[in-house]
């Protein structure tokens, strides 16, 4: 599967998942289960706003591989916000974030298969690596 095919498959899956109003709540429940250390980081979070930000961030991650090389990127602002200069999100948390995403997609995408999982992992890998590199 090419990166473009993976991105298209992951975007279709995301479209199926994101219509469920509880998808983003379910994602955070799973993330906090897999990564209890993250919960305190969200202690004062307005989750309605956070869900909108997460919806946007997932879109950026899925579109990142198609972007031309060079800075700034579509993820520059998000990466800067999550870097040590602001929120200081440890790069080691990203794999748990992605595992939580995949677990939640598995729950909400009625067409989920191992190929869909592979597409998600391929589609977000470049963006996640970029985010980690900007820490």
Average pLDDT, the chain: 96
Residue 7 clears pLDDT 90, i.e. is over it: yes
Rounded CA separation 117/112 (Å): 7
Q: What percentage of residues in the chain have a pLDDT greater than 70?
A: 100
pLDDT higher than 90, residue 74: yes
Find the CATH number of the domain harbouring 77: 1.10.490.10
Residue 67 has pLDDT above 90, yes or no: no
pLDDT tens digits along 81-97: 999 999 999 999 999 99
Instruction: Give 1's pLDDT tier (boundaries 50, 70, 90).
Output: confident
Among residues 33, 61, 59, 28, the alpha carbon closest in space to that of 46 is found at 28
Measure the CA–CA gap between 121 and 13, rounded to whole angstroms: 12
Is the pTM above the cut of 0.85?
yes
Tens of pLDDT along 31-57? Answer: 999 999 999 999 999 999 999 999 999
Burial of residue 57 (number of CB atoms within 10 Å: 0-12, 13-18, 19+): middle
Overall number of domains in the chain: 1
Show the domain range for 47: 3-133
Question: Would the pLDDT of 8 be above 90?
Answer: yes
pLDDT digits (tens, 9 = 90+) for 19-34: 999 999 999 999 999 9
């Amino acid at each position: 599967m090419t990166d473009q095919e993976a991105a298209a498959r992951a975007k279709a899956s995301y479209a199926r998942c994101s219509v469920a109003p509880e998808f983003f709540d379910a994602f955070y429940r799973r993330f906090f289960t897999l990564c209890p250390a993250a919960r305190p980081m969200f202690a004062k979070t307005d989750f309605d706003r956070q869900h909108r930000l997460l919806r946007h961030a997932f879109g950026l991650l899925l579109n990142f591989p198609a972007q031309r090389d060079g800075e700034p990127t579509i993820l520059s602002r998000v990466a800067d916000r999550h870097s040590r200069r602001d929120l200081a999100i440890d790069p080691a948390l990203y794999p748990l974030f992605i595992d939580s995403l995949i677990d939640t997609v598995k729950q909400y995408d009625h067409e989920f298969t191992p190929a869909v999982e592979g597409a998600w992992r391929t589609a977000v890998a470049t963006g996640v690596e970029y985010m980690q590199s900007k820490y």
